[in-house]
A and B are shown apart, each in its own frame.
Chain A
């Protein structure tokens, strides 16, 4: 069974640019989650998508957005990039996420570096 796949592995951008990160969940999983892992800030929840709908978002500005496609894959968009956006962005998927008892399975992340 293929795990969660993320692309690209690394992404280098400059301030003010826009970045798009992609995630393919495990087959059969309908929920997709995005987390930011920044140095010194730990793992912070960004977004939760389930059945194509945004179910919840963390405490991030609106320039962080995303969507989930009919095949349950997802993309995260970050507009007007700032230096502090440099981080590892992790995508996770699970069976239907409401209820909270389904474990989330993570990809290897996209390393976003802002110059």
Chain B
């Protein structure tokens, strides 16, 4: 069975600083991995995905993530935080047999001026 662990339920970053959100996964099959962002009172928006191919994946809004099989990690980064990045971020692994996404618990990002 797939599972996802996100380290840190809350992260505070200064505007202009590096954003680093950690995600580790467990999967019995080659994983398909996703990062989503949720703004208040909204649904989830897809930031980026890893299915196959290049292990460094670029997404929207300047975010990128690197798939590291040896570390079973898929950490999300952004070089310079903006106030608009304040939101909750979810890492997810896809279960191809069951169709569902298995989500991590989420990381709330606060951006300070």
Contacts and interface: CB of A to CB of B under 8 A. Distances in A.
Q: Do A and B come from one complex?
A: yes
Most chain B C-beta atoms within 10 Å of own C-beta, residue among A6, A55, A105, A106: A106
B101 interface: yes
Interface of A: 4, 6, 31, 33, 35, 42-43, 45, 48, 50, 55-56, 58, 90, 92, 97-101, 103-109
B49 A48 contact: no
B33 to A, nearest CB: 10
B94 A33 contact: no
Contact residues of A: prevailing secondary structure: strand
Contact of B101 (A6, A45, A99, A109): A45
Interface residues of B, number: 26
B98 A105 contact: no
B113 interface: no
Contacts of B98: 45, 48, 56
Nearest to B93: A100
Nearest to A104: B101
Interface in B36-52: 36, 41-46, 49, 51-52
Nearest to A111: B41
B43 A98 contact: no
Contacts of A104: 34, 46, 101
B43 A107 contact: yes
B11 to A, nearest CB: 17
B103 A43 contact: yes
A108 B34 contact: no
Nearest to B90: A43
A52 to B, nearest CB: 14
Contacts of A90: 43-44
Contacts of B100: 33, 45, 48, 56, 58
Given A42-B103, A42-B105, A43-B90, A98 B96 contact: yes
Nearest to B106: A42
B63 interface: no
Contacts of B103: 42-43
A105 B46 contact: yes
Contacts of A92: 44, 101
